[in-house]
Structure formats: C-alpha cells, structure tokens
Amino acid sequence: MTESKDLTHLRPSGEAHMVDVSAKPATERVATAEGRVVMSTDTLDLVLRGDAKKGDVLGAARIAGIMAAKKTHELIPLCHPLAITKVEVDIAPETEPPASPASPGPPGPPALRVQATVKVTGQTGVEMEALTAVTVACLTIYDMVKAVERGMRIEGVRLIEKQGGKSGHFRAEGR
C-alpha cells in the first residue's frame, strides 16, 4: 500500500501545471522499467532468427526505445526536458512463470521482455523516460511483426526500480 501524497502536477484549484524544480539540487537519478510483448512461439522464433520482412526487429526496437526516452518531454505534457546521460534498452526472450508459486503449472506463452534503464544527473527523475522507452520499444516490436501475428499483447509495463531524488529508492514488489 502506498502513502497518500499530494498530486504535484495539480494546483489547489485543480489546474494542471508543470512542477517548478529549480530549487532542487541536481543529483544522480536512475530508473528502470519493464514490459512484455506476448506472442506465439512461431512469431518469437521468426524474430529471434532475424527473418522478419521489415528487418532487424530487436535492433529497431532498441533504437526506438532510446529515441523515445530522449523525446519523453515532447510526448508527456508536464515532463521536463532532461539531459539524459544514459539509456539502455535490453530485449530478451522469455516465458511466463506459472500463475502462482504455490500452484506450479506449465510456463505461459512466449514473449519478448523489454527492460529500459535511464540515467540523469538532474533536478527531477527519469521514471517517465524509462516507461516511455519500454512502451515505444514494445510498440515497435508489434509494428514490425504485426503482419505475421496481430494478436500479440503488450503487457506488464511498469516501473521496477528508481534511485535518487527526494523520495529515495523504490523497488517494485516481486523484484
């Protein structure tokens, strides 16, 4: 359960505004997010073989994620433009674990797990940049192989860890 906190992007009157971070010290901040693109075994095999008609799916998705992190402030209305110092996008094949450790079952459907880590030395965090990188990388994977399988699912996009700033360290449950 999380603590109740004020919504910093809302004025008392309810109007949205960009938070003034000018009084905050510049500190190192790092955020990591993840998401998955669930697909059939045949589609995953096609991607991993590098046989997609549109080209290198994983390479294009990595580059798209990096570009998206750098442009987050252009996509999310109240985000600050940041001088990002690092963006790393990793994509790996996986299968879902059983629904519950207490009731093990067969692994779930195949997927590509996308993880993005973004770093900055600045006055505000990079959580939105990490989440945007993951989301755009997942969308790029979908776009590049949708001709083969339109039923793919993008799921589980979430912040898994953040460090730095006034609120300190956060690590998602189950990580």
Count of other CB atoms within 10 angstroms of residue 152: 21
Q: What are the structural domain ranges in the chain?
A: 27-97+108-171
Whole-prediction pTM: 0.84
CATH topology of domain 27-97+108-171: Alpha-Beta Plaits (3.30.70)
Catalytic site includes residue 143: yes
Distance CA 109, CA 48 (A): 16
| DSSP state at residue 100 | B
| Model confidence pLDDT, tens digit, residues 24-78 | 778 899 999 999 999 999 999 999 999 899 999 999 999 999 999 999 999 988 8
User: At 143, which amino acid appears?
Assistant: D
Of 20, 42, 51, 143, catalytic = 143
Q: With contact defined as beta carbons under 8 Å apart, do 134 and 67 qualify?
A: no
